[in-house]
Amino acid sequence: MPAINPRPVLLLLIVALLAGAYLIGRSPPAEPIRIGVIHALSGVMADSERGLVDALQLAVDDINAAGGLLGRPVEIVLADSRSDWTHAALAAGRLIGDDKVSALFACWTSSCRQAVRPVVEGQRHLMFYPLQYEGMEISPNIVYMGSAPNQQIIPGARWAMDRFGRRVYLLGSDYLFPRAANLLIRDLVSAGEGNVVAERYLPMTASDFSAVIEEIRRQAPDVVLNTLNGEGNRHFFAALAAAGLGSIPVVSFSVAEPELRLLPTEHFHPEHYAVWGYFQSLDSAANQQFVSRFRQRFGPERVLSDPLVSSYEAVHLWAAAVREAGTADPQQVNRGLGRINLAGPSGIVAVDVATRHRWRRVYVGKAGLDGQFAATEISEAPVRPAPFPPYRSRSEWAERLRPLTGITAP
């Protein structure tokens, strides 16, 4: 048998000992803090919701670049709602139960929110909802980042009637938010001695607006108040342009910069306005810096919107609450959210403790051919949220909304 050279064996032994010592002295990578994201990446709401996922990712990148939270990186677990609210609720259960996420950032439509809400409340978890909505709701487990009715629908409808007249045409998608919003608008029209000349709802998958256009032509309203969501807006404005009805003002409550950009130039409506708590065109230094960073990250052609910025600010609000609580446990984080204030692209981010809704400013924007809105503030200061308009009791609102509770989009 040939003799064994001890040198290579000794060398391998030394390398193995050094490697073992290195691995023993090295800490294992920290387990990430996971957050769940539920938005439509497919279906009729995808055009509106995809950008919100990018905003959430940018916020997570900010946090991780600064060292993460509690010494741990933050990681997104993403679920496609497929524009289907039942699927969104199932995804929420999976993210909370299986993926052990610390918080959910979820939904666009009210039907999606109401489908997910029982899951979040049943698990005593935490969800951030980024959209303006019809109000009439307070949940101990949801933070409402978008505008309440007194921060969008009510001042926007009042502005429209004061500027254009009191003969109003109501057009919306056939689900909860448009119908509930129009209950509020009808109250305003009645109080102002106006007239709702017609109220029409179409499925979110609708592409034929010929009957609506003919009715608008026949009724000649002073203003159309538009609560269409998703792809329906493209078909509606195309039909308006084809009918030569460019002189009729349209005030939209769910059309932001991404939806406006998707309208071809030939479908541009010269009297198109929108009401939001944020527009990309706001000239504050903080906003323009954020716009620049977002475009550097995702492309110079990208446009921002109120729901997109609200999503970004929601992650930073959650992160600040995690730092204060010293834990990512959703119940402990939830308890501290009302004590957090921070500066964001839209201004100061502060949650009203009593209602769990944000204080918001109110802007009206006039659409331009450049895909932006020229914004004018119609609030004198940040507006405290009132999800239940105070001119009726909560029981009265519940009774009025009862017939709408079974209305959901496909």
Q: Reduce the DSSP state of residue 296 to 3 states and report it.
A: helix
The pLDDT value given to residue 410: 39
The pLDDT value given to residue 401: 87
Q: Reduce the DSSP state of residue 364 to 3 states and report it.
A: strand
User: Mean pLDDT, 10 residues at a time, over the chain (410 residues)?
Assistant: 50 51 58 98 93 98 97 98 96 98 96 96 98 95 97 98 98 94 96 96 94 98 96 95 96 95 93 98 96 96 96 98 97 94 95 96 97 96 95 90 65
CA 37, CA 322: separation in Å to the nearest integer?
Answer: 17
Give the end-to-end CA distance of the chain in Å, rounded to a whole number: 80
DSSP assignment of 33-96, as one string? EEEEEEE-SSSTTHHHHHHHHHHHHHHHHHHHHTT-BTTB-EEEEEEE-TT-HHHHHHHHHHHH
The pLDDT value given to residue 15: 47
Which of these, 257, 265, 276, lies nearest to 372 by C-alpha position?
Answer: 257
Indicate the average pLDDT of the chain: 92
CA 312, CA 228: separation in Å to the nearest integer?
Answer: 24
CA 77, CA 126: separation in Å to the nearest integer?
Answer: 15
Task: Please determine, looking at this structure, whether the domain spanning 150-280+364-404 carries the CATH number 3.40.50.2300.
Answer: yes
Nearest 5°: phi and psi at 61? -60, -40
Examine domains 33-146+283-359 and 150-280+364-404 and report if their fold is the same: yes
Which of these, 262, 270, 219, 260, lies nearest to 240 by C-alpha position?
Answer: 270
Q: Give pTM, 2 decimals.
A: 0.89
Report domain extents, the chain.
33-146+283-359, 150-280+364-404
Write the pLDDT tens digit of every residue in 155-183.
999 999 999 999 999 999 999 999 999 99
Domain 33-146+283-359 CATH class label: alpha beta
The pLDDT value given to residue 14: 52
How deeply is 102 buried, as exposed, middle or buried, from its count of CB atoms within 10 A (0-12, 13-18, 19+)?
buried
How deeply is 387 buried, as exposed, middle or buried, from its count of CB atoms within 10 A (0-12, 13-18, 19+)?
buried
The pLDDT value given to residue 392: 92
The pLDDT value given to residue 404: 83
CA 387, CA 357: separation in Å to the nearest integer?
Answer: 8
